[in-house]
Amino acid sequence: MPTTQAQLKALLVEAHVLDGEAFDELALRAKEEGVAISDLLTDLGLVTDEQLGQLLAHEYAVRFVRLGQERISDEILSLIPESFARAQLLIPVSQTASHVVIATAQPDDVIMRSLLEKYLRTQVVFAYATPRDLQNNLFLFRRDPREEFERIVAMKEQGGVEAAGAIIELVDIMMDSAYQAGSSDIHVEPEDDYTVVRYRTDGVLHDIARLPLSVHQSIITRLKVLGRLATDEHRTAQDGKITHKGPWGDEVEIRLSIVPTTHDEKAVMRLLSDKARRFHLTDLGLSKEDFAQFEEGIERPWGLILVTGPTGSGKTTSLYAALKVLNKREVNITTIEDPVEYDIEGVNQIQVNEKTGLTFAKGLRSIVRQDPDVIMVGEIRDKEAAGIAVNAAMTGHIVLSTLHTNDAATAFPRLVDMDVEDFLIASTVNMVIAQRLVRRVCMRCILSYAMTSTEKKMIEGNSIIQKYLKQITGKADLTKVRLFKGKGCPVCHYSGYAGRVGVFEVLEMSDAVREAVMARKNADEIHEIALGEGMTTMMHDGLRKVVEGVTTLEEVLRVIMEK
């Protein structure tokens, strides 16, 4: 049966994670907010999901498994029907001649074990996996969309009663499979002789299937119906919104964009799933030192915290993770975003609407009069918004926002360019975090290897990489450093990568940096001051993740360019 609150309290107190009084306060807060206390503990960073899992596994006297590090074959997954695995939240992990290992969050459920043993006709050994880890790995059961598309297209071409619903099913599977694959976008692109369906997964577009042109217009029409767009309009761009509910109850908001091209209309769908809502501060990939700085920065009573980076670098996810920590009943949090990507319970979220004149600046001016404690501005785009944000931070509010700059130090001259006075920047900005997203090595097909000659040349030709790698590894001869990569497997679509993680540099406002800002020194000079005070760059953070086997050297160099 699920762990009781009393059992969890005893475990955490015994492990010196927190005392009984603190647990009782959190239990009361969890009840008020309608969330599980285990989720609240991990969201607040008091314990990681893995630490909590290890404690509970020890209590149940079973093995703890981290599903992302298990090599689970399709043959093993097929042992249990997908519908049953999803309903009971369990995943088969491995099989021997004598038993099957199944990951579950309820390893003491003897009735479930008996039921599984009757079905599988072998002994079942339960291992413990956290509910969050199980939920995040249900994508392993996903269907191959290529086979599904081929089946549906054949059904439509045959005609008859079944053909009428073929396109509806095809579009549903398109959305379901992209969601299960963790993709952020679906592209439906017409070419001369066919239509190509592509998914953007981990920031990279992958061709999924080629469909005959005969079904293209039917797909576009179906999407227009779902997005409540004009089906008879083919010459202008249209934007819509779709709320799609998958077969397992997952709900995903989809932003739809349709534009006319030289071939036909092209559709792009941005999937805004609730998976991002489960992200918390400990999931971002911050190093221990950077995490401590970030956590301390957002807990300050006032000031401006900026997250910088290009589009698609995970800035909004970082802000939402910070908001989850700050989101308490006694705190009034208001955001203004364009668009509001994910609804957060207990947070007042405002969507920018240029047509009605609700811009970032006007919305921010109104928010200040709403008695906020914390303000989140999706992006500081212009002088007016920058001025209001800085003034709000100066008058006792925590303000979180984003800027488009290449690194942390460049945020200061960028604000100066927006006509914010240097003394205001120096007195209000608490922290600037620059970030990028790199693809993770697939843990189901990871292997280590000796450095290749190409990689040796890349390292030898870059003094900064040499310097950082020697600092991280402590080795003078870098050719002896072993690296990691994914061999390629069905889970990662043979790319060697599965998922993404952030690489960061956290620049805290110190006295020296404050003086440099007041003296209007350039970004390079501020960058050097911060380095002298112990800041690690994105390149350094990325190379640390390379050595740890989190990502690859090739991926870090693709994403980050060190100046």
- Domain residue spans of the chain: 5-137, 142-274, 279-559
Neighbours of 369 (CB within 10 A): 7
- CA 204 from centre of chain: 14
Q: Rounded distance, CA 182 to CA 176, Å?
A: 10
Answer for the pair 536, 505: CB distance below 8 angstroms, yes or no: yes
Residues 6 or more apart in contact with residue 308 via CB below 8 angstroms: 315, 402, 403, 404, 405, 406, 407, 408, 410, 411, 432, 433, 434, 435
Which strand ranges, in their side-by-side order, compose the sheet holding 123-128? Answer: 90-95, 99-104, 123-128
Answer for the pair 33, 22: CB distance below 8 angstroms, yes or no: no
Q: Rounded distance, CA 427 to CA 396, Å?
A: 12
Q: Rounded distance, CA 150 to CA 167, Å?
A: 12
| Closest listed residue to residue 331, CA positions, set 281, 395, 374, 377 | 374
How, if at all, do strands 374-377 and 333-337 pair? parallel
Neighbours of 37 (CB within 10 A): 18
Q: Residue 212, preceding bond cis, omega within 30 degrees? A: no
Instruction: Tell me the CA distances in angstroms from 33 to 21, 56, 346, 420, 459, one per residue in order.
Output: 19, 24, 8, 39, 51
Query: Burial letters for 498-527: b for 16+ Cβ neighbours within 10 Å, e otherwise?
Result: bbbbbbbbbbbbeeebbebbeeebebeebb
Q: Rounded distance, CA 75 to CA 155, Å?
A: 28
Per CATH, 5-137 and 142-274 having the same topology is answered: no
Query: For the structural domain made of 279-559, what CATH number should be given?
Result: 3.40.50.300
SS3 370: coil
Q: Rounded distance, CA 10 to CA 237, Å?
A: 59
Q: Rounded distance, CA 6 to CA 354, Å?
A: 52
Q: Tell me the HSE value of 226 on the side-chain side, using a 13 A CA sphere.
A: 25
SS3 395: coil
**DSSP annotation string for 150-202:** HHHHHHHHH-STGGGGHHHHHHHHHHHHHHHTT-SEEEEEE-SSEEEEEEEET
- Structure confidence at residue 563 (pLDDT): 46
Choices 3.30.450.90, 3.40.640.10, 3.40.630.10, 3.40.630.30: CATH for 142-274: 3.30.450.90
Answer for the pair 428, 393: CB distance below 8 angstroms, yes or no: yes
- Structure confidence at residue 275 (pLDDT): 52
Residue type, 316: T
**CATH topology for 5-137?**
GMP Synthetase; Chain A, domain 3 (3.30.300)
SS3 276: helix
Residues 6 or more apart in contact with residue 88 via CB below 8 angstroms: 104, 112
| Closest listed residue to residue 17, CA positions, set 37, 31, 36, 1 | 37
pLDDT along the chain (563 residues), means of 10: 72 78 81 74 75 84 86 85 85 93 92 92 93 81 75 76 76 87 90 92 88 91 94 92 79 91 93 62 82 88 93 87 85 87 83 84 86 90 88 90 92 93 93 94 87 87 89 86 86 82 93 93 94 93 93 92 56
pTM: 0.74
